[in-house]
Structure 1
Amino acid sequence: MPSSLPALLETPLDRASAEPLQRQLCLRIKDAIVGGHLPAGLRLPATRVLAQGLLISRNTASMAYDHLLAEGYVVADRQGTVVAELRTPVLSKASSPPPRPRLAARLASLRPSPMIKTDCTALRPGVPALTQFPQAHWRLAMAHAARTATPNTLNYGDPLGEPALRSAIASHLAITRGVHCMAEQVVVTEGAQEALNLCVRLITNPGDTAWMEDPGYRGGKSALHAGDLRVLPKRLDAEGLYFTANDWRSEQPRLIYTTPSHQYPLGTVMSVARRLALMAAAQAHGAWIIEDDYDSEFRHSGEPIRAMQGLMADAPVLYVGTFSKTMFPSLRLGFLVLPLPLQPLLDRPLRELLRGGHSHEQLAMARFMEAGHFVRHLARMRRIYRERQQALRSALGEHLGVLHSIEGGRSGLHLCVRFAADYPDVAVAETAQRYGMAPQALSTFALEPQLQDNGLVLGYGNTAVETMGPLVRRLGKILKGLA
């Protein structure tokens, strides 16, 4: 009998522990087997002997053996219980380390985004005014969804989303964004990122070419790279994403990512002429356009900019939207509007790729929209964001203290501020985090950073008016300290 067995039998279990005795015994025997102290083929003591040695009930010992048998650590024969031969050999300390895990090659093209501390909220782009969200109305909508739920609501649900929400989204987009769609074209997703990933998976093959705004949204770049696409950066001019006829001949894309109503992060609005030219060229060359309309609900001057999708019949546009900016980020609800010619072709593949879920949240969102709370919330937020943006502009002019230019601001939740390369934007952003701020370095949004891509993307959505002055004053000190 191995010398380890007496210790196993004689060392009492911890009766003061919250861990049940049966589980303690199981873990003790498993650790001994995995560690090589109880070799394969060794016959373990009978449950009566084990129980007497450890001063436990025989029933506890029997249940422990039964559990070990179920997991495959031991086997049973007519004479009792025997340690099983484990398929995976135990490596000794002298063994060579295991080979490095092999990952997908496409991961090498993913550029890590700057890490942001969870407690850094001031000036963080893309975060709405969380303290201003009408939680009372949302609780009522959630309560209504729970109260009217049926047993079927607890099932997986429609993979493309709850019909009530798909219908509410289609109606809202038609009125506010000029999007031409039926409810059947709407796919509810786990945020906008899943919608972007779906566009890549449904439309492209590995090796296809994609055009990407540069600088541009990191999530868009990640989706394209994760699809093993050849991603070509396309710079922007005053009218938005810039391209030439030669680009279509030499770099013909399968997919084009753009944020035409409020370019992220520069804030450019793509002109109607450029939109029509882009759609006409895409249609002629068999390409598709992702229109990411992420925060266009918040137009601060003039009439809302109509979505590109609604400018022409059968537009080659996959329209992507999200409730992360209009509601709150943790809701994780987005949507994809399929082009009408693609909808019948993609219905079955989508039902295979997706699984329904989050039915209560989707039904609550539908209720929130149908009751008019969503439209009223958006109107109130426009006023708040307009005030906060103006406060940020004033603070930049008064307190930043370095030569700079401001871009964008006609929509959305952020401003883009450019300044000279003497002030390295990555270092500025990293230093700002130590003071509870989370501005983003403009250069980190570019696939191929250029000298003019030095600056900060400043979010004002979740930053109160009265804090703008002190925050920008601190930013100015950081800039001057790093020059």
Structure 2
Amino acid sequence: MSLSAILDPLNDPADAMPRQQQLYRRLKEAMLDGRLGPGARLPASRLLAADYGIARNTVLYAYQQLQAEGFLLADRRGTRVADLPVLHGLGVARPVASHAPAELSRRAAGLALRQHEPLLPFAPGVADLNAFPWAAWARQLQKAWGEVSARQLAYAAPAGEPRLRQALADDLRARRGVLCSPEQIFVVAGAQIALDACARLLADEGDTVWLENPCYPAARSVMQTAGLRAVHVPVDAAGMAPEPSLWESQPPRLVYLTPSHQYPLGAVLSLERRLEFLRRIVAANGWIIEDDYDSEFNHARPGYSPLPALQGLHADAPVVYVGTFSKLLYPGLRVAYMVVPRWAAREFGERIASLYRSGQAVEQRALAGFIESGALTRHLRKMAPIYRARQAVLRRELTAAFGDDVEILGGDAGLHLTLGLPAGEPDQAVIAKAMALGVTARPLSEYCAAEVPGASRNGLVLGYGMAEEKRIPELVARLARAVAADA
């Protein structure tokens, strides 16, 4: 085959790639798709360079690279395409591009599809990034980089930087009533990694996991891909509400709870149910995963701490406490942590080290300094009244705009409210209209288990972390237009 069709694009001025890379890539593609079949001879480097007006070194680079990769053979008879098994049967009649793509796994097919969402007002799960104490954080980062050694540039300690584990233990004992020592804390790259570790290390494929319904979609996805059998337990005003018979008919290996602020309905798990879950899970020989989502900000009782962590009710209970800094600091930090019972810490640590490689050692040191210096506590105290005021204004404006036609859920803690919508237009269609008006939200139906008949709910999950108080009335007016289908 003539090389013209393959190499003429080398003269395309729109291709900014260096000539040697262009030549290498085009020859390799031609061999992979069968245009240059096994045994085909290539021109001598001098001849090819002269024919296409390129430097001989450019041709030598491409030939030598392809030879090193095993695509070309060079001997006294010249340069030819290697006779590799991978090239057989990939001729012009069946080019690679015509092959049906390999399918993803059945587990992957069941995962919810999510597009990247713009950072518009009422986006849930986002704190006020404009209020982040950048100067204090930058000082801690600079200090951490000044202390860096080769060890910090390699993988971090499997359980996390010792200094951060100590700072977390001190902070969690004081702020959330968690009963722990540094040896019980394991730092990972985000809450989903923490949930994945729990699913893999605490349960086997086919085991039963109880999930709140509605539930944090990422938690549902993690349990699903781990091969666990999900039982979707309804939620009421006091949190997850299993029927007593469920403990006997479908005993759980794992129970996933957001007790401090149920996501997305905002319920706080009552003390009575907390104690009942602890008693029952021991009898079931199972585990509770306590996702302390959105627990940092208490709006119901200003000046008082939120209800302490479930884990703090009994130090030796089979509870894994999961926390993150996504709301306190910023989501892109990707630092989360788990607190495991002291009797399980050694074995858990040995196993988790075989699953994940730790990183961000410098950022972990900076975070430790940020906590130790009191900057984290100061930031929390600064933001608490700001978020409380935004929540109150949002509730007031929603009530004024929608009256008794809708239900407003949550508000005692966290950074979001949930607006129930009357039967009618689906919440996803409402959100599409709202986005055209510069407002976003999350559809409540997305949090509900599709496999539970009649359990889906129509509504909007509205975050106020990034919604300035003075703009909330105008933003709610836009939302009301979208709901009324006047957009």
TM over 0.5: yes
- Deviations for 1:341-387, whole angstroms, at most 9, x for unmatched residues? 22122121111112121111111111111110000001111111001
Q: TM-score, normalised by structure 1?
A: 0.92
Match of 1:346 in 2: 348
Deviates more, 1:145-154 or 1:446-455: 446-455
TM-aligned CA distance change 1:98 to 1:167, over 3 Å? same
Amino acid at match of 1:90: L
> Displacement, 1:173?
0.4
SS at structure 2 position matched to 1:161? coil
Match of 1:153 in 2: 152
SS at structure 1 position matched to 2:485? helix
How far apart in 2 are the matches of 1:13 and 1:264? Answer: 55
TM-aligned CA distance change 1:34 to 1:473, over 3 Å? same
> Displacement, 1:14?
4.0
> Displacement, 1:100?
4.5
> Displacement, 1:449?
6.6
- Deviations for 1:106-126, whole angstroms, at most 9, x for unmatched residues? 22432335x4532x4211111
User: For the Cα contact (< 8 Å) 1:133–1:327, is it kept in 2?
Assistant: yes
For residues 21-100 of structure 1, the aligned pairs below 5 Å read: 21-86=19-84, 87-88=86-87, 89-92=89-92, 97-100=98-101
User: Which runs of 5 or more residues in structure 2 are unaligned?
Assistant: none
Deviates more, 1:241-250 or 1:58-67: 58-67
User: For the Cα contact (< 8 Å) 2:33–2:92, is it kept in 1?
Assistant: no
For residues 6-405 of structure 1, the aligned pairs below 5 Å read: 14=11, 19-86=17-84, 87-88=86-87, 89-92=89-92, 97-113=98-114, 115=115, 117-118=117-118, 120-302=119-301, 303=304, 304-400=306-402, 403-405=405-407
> Displacement, 1:7?
7.9
How many percent identity over aligned positions?
42
How far apart in 2 are the matches of 1:394 and 1:121? Answer: 21
User: For the Cα contact (< 8 Å) 1:12–1:54, is it kept in 2?
Assistant: no
Q: TM-score, normalised by structure 2?
A: 0.91
Structure 1 residue ranges, 4+ long, deviating more than 6 angstroms after superposition: 6-9
How far apart in 1 are the matches of 2:362 and 2:385? Answer: 30
TM-aligned CA distance change 1:436 to 1:479, over 3 Å? same
User: Which runs of 5 or more residues in structure 1 are unaligned?
Assistant: none
Match of 2:477 in 1: 473
- Deviations for 1:208-245, whole angstroms, at most 9, x for unmatched residues? 11101111111111111111111011112232111233
Q: What is the alpha-carbon root mean square deviation over aligned residues?
A: 2.5
Deviates more, 1:254-263 or 1:332-341: 332-341
User: For the Cα contact (< 8 Å) 1:116–1:433, is it kept in 2?
Assistant: no
How far apart in 1 are the matches of 2:173 and 2:372? Answer: 14
Amino acid at match of 2:388: R
SS at structure 2 position matched to 1:341? helix
SS at structure 1 position matched to 2:245? helix
- Deviations for 1:250-283, whole angstroms, at most 9, x for unmatched residues? 0111000111111111111111111001011001
SS at structure 2 position matched to 1:157? coil
Identify the match of residue 458 of structure 2 among 440, 454, 457.
Answer: 454
User: For the Cα contact (< 8 Å) 1:424–1:482, is it kept in 2?
Assistant: no
SS at structure 2 position matched to 1:400? helix
User: For the Cα contact (< 8 Å) 2:35–2:91, is it kept in 1?
Assistant: no
Amino acid at match of 2:271: V
User: For the Cα contact (< 8 Å) 2:191–2:337, is it kept in 1?
Assistant: yes
> Displacement, 1:400?
3.1
User: For the Cα contact (< 8 Å) 1:391–1:468, is it kept in 2?
Assistant: yes
User: For the Cα contact (< 8 Å) 2:34–2:92, is it kept in 1?
Assistant: no
- Deviations for 1:320-356, whole angstroms, at most 9, x for unmatched residues? 0010011011111111111222212212111111212
How far apart in 1 are the matches of 2:480 and 2:6? Answer: 67
TM-aligned CA distance change 1:449 to 1:440, over 3 Å? farther
- Deviations for 1:87-120, whole angstroms, at most 9, x for unmatched residues? 234253567943452322222432335x4532x4
TM-aligned CA distance change 1:20 to 1:211, over 3 Å? closer
